[in-house]
Amino acid sequence: MEHKRLPPWLKVSLPAGGPYAQTAGLIKNLRLHTVCREAHCPNAAKCWAAGTLTVLLLGDSCTRNCRFCAVGHSVNPGALEADEPTRVAQALAALKVSYAVLTSVTRDDLPDGGAAHFAATVREVRRLSPGTRLELLVPDFQAREDALALVVAAAPEVLSHNLETTRRLTPLVRDRRCDYDRSLQVLRRFGQLGLVTKSSLMLGLGEDEAEIREALTDLRAAGVQHLTLGQYLRPSPVQVPVERYWTPEEFEALAVLGRELGFRSVASGPFVRSSYLAGDYAGAATP
């Protein structure tokens, strides 16, 4: 059931002024989209102040419609903007971003799912902002080998794909074109091709501890090295309701479990998101 009141550990002040305003202004001027704002992330100010930014590529409309997601969706999102890779690189250089997460909406309408656009953005960032380390948080590209090879060849520091939820809940809260085993397949393939890999789960959608353990075990079996666990917060009444608020103590216990299962780093807490302070965990992101 949907809880009317947030528990006290989920209260957060809204960001304003200072570095947040500067970053928001530059993002607006360069016509960029960020997960920080599109997905209503509560950590925007904290991550931006730490030199971490999460940029949303391929437009702001997704061809899939997961029931938990606030990003807009469309059957035909339109053509890609050819200058977006350069604009992204210019923003990262101007803001002196030390660690950037490049992610995207899912574009099933594109032949390669947007993989070449990811690769082009990486090239531009390496050219214009060589001091910025990169993490790519990518869709599943329908597990197409040519698309996976393109993003692997771009050689980011970390390559990430989110499992999002447990096996049982996947068909209930994700788009019908999403598949639990295909996500594991994609992550396994990234590891086989030599990349440092990462994934994430949202909690509070109705899963239990046994299902979480199963998902973490599946991720480790796929070779995933880095993990984030966070609380699902309903962005608006349109999305699926929260079934449970996991406590900070429960998140810490899951962090211990993750480390016991062999993840190299685990970020686990109510406000953690897949790109939460990603640069802080990058030091562990080495083979």
User: If you average pLDDT over residues 130-142, what whole number do you get?
Assistant: 96
* Whole-number Å distance between alpha carbons of 38 and 136: 17
Location of structure tokens 């993990």: 227
* Whole-number Å distance between alpha carbons of 258 and 252: 10
Domain boundaries, the chain: 14-284
pTM here? Answer: 0.88
Which residues on adjacent β-strands are paired with residue 267?
Answer: 228
> How many Cβ atoms from other residues are within 10 Å of residue 54's Cβ?
27
Could you tell me where the beta strands, DSSP code E, fall in the chain? 33-34, 52-57, 61-62, 72-73, 99-104, 133-137, 158-160, 197-203, 226-231, 265-269
pLDDT of residue 287: 43
pLDDT band per the 50, 70, 90 thresholds, residue 1: very low
> Do the beta carbons of residue 36 and residue 54 sit within 8 Å?
yes
CA distances from 75 to 43, 62, 143 (A): 30, 8, 20
- Token pair recorded at residue 231: 């609380």
Output the CATH code of domain 14-284.
3.20.20.70
* Whole-number Å distance between alpha carbons of 287 and 281: 13
Mean pLDDT of the residues in the chain: 87
pLDDT band per the 50, 70, 90 thresholds, residue 286: very low
Indicate if the pLDDT at residue 239 is higher than 90. Answer: yes
β-strands 197-203, 158-160: how paired? parallel
> Do the beta carbons of residue 10 and residue 231 sit within 8 Å?
yes
Is 246 strand, coil or helix? coil
* Whole-number Å distance between alpha carbons of 283 and 143: 28
> How many Cβ atoms from other residues are within 10 Å of residue 70's Cβ?
16
Location of structure tokens 């666990």: 229
